[in-house]
Copies of this chain bind each other. A is one copy, B any other.
Amino acid sequence: MKKFVADAPAPDENAKRRFMSLALEQARLCLESGDVPVGAAVVRRGEIVAVGRNTREKDLNALCHAETEAIRAACEKLKGWRLWECDLYVTLEPCAMCAGAIVNARIKRVFFGAKDPKAGAFGGKFDINSLGLAHRPEVEGGLMEKEASGLLEDFFAALRGRTEK
């Protein structure tokens, strides 16, 4: 029987770190526009399909999170809205919108760095995978968490410093 969902091989530890490093690189680019540093990458069978970063302030758009930008670019590149064979790497746990986008795009696996107890939708604030929706991605949190959290902490510390001056 032909399987409906293609079997994209799971990445090994080296590959995971390589792709998350790419997402971290994207996150650092956010600092140029004063955006909260969050980056993402979409990967298909070991090949990078698309990257994205948070540009909410730069683009003045509530929808421009790292994940949505990367998913949008991946759909464009692969000319289809079903990203069944794709994994998403993102430096911060996805919010409700992005987790919903991941479900809608049928992303196979999600790897995230820092946890988000205020808005995270994969266990931080709630778990979208427990809601009985039509698709449930595999999820691994805490990948290169220290690097991802460090970027965010430095950003917010600098922001507080500027505000207090």
Instruction: Enumerate chain A interface residues (CB-CB to B < 8 A).
Output: 56-57, 60-65, 68, 71-72, 75-76, 79-83, 95-101, 103-106, 118-119, 121, 125-126, 128, 131-134
Contact = CB atoms under 8 A, between A and B. Distances in A.
A97 B56 CA distance: 16
Contact of A81 (B61, B71, B75, B131): B61
B56 A61 contact: no
Copies in the complex: 2
A133 B128 contact: no
Given A118-B134, A125-B131, A132-B125, A75 B60 contact: yes
10 contacts: A61-B75, A61-B81, A62-B83, A63-B68, A63-B75, A65-B104, A96-B99, A96-B100, A97-B99, A126-B131
Contact of A62 (B61, B71, B128): B71
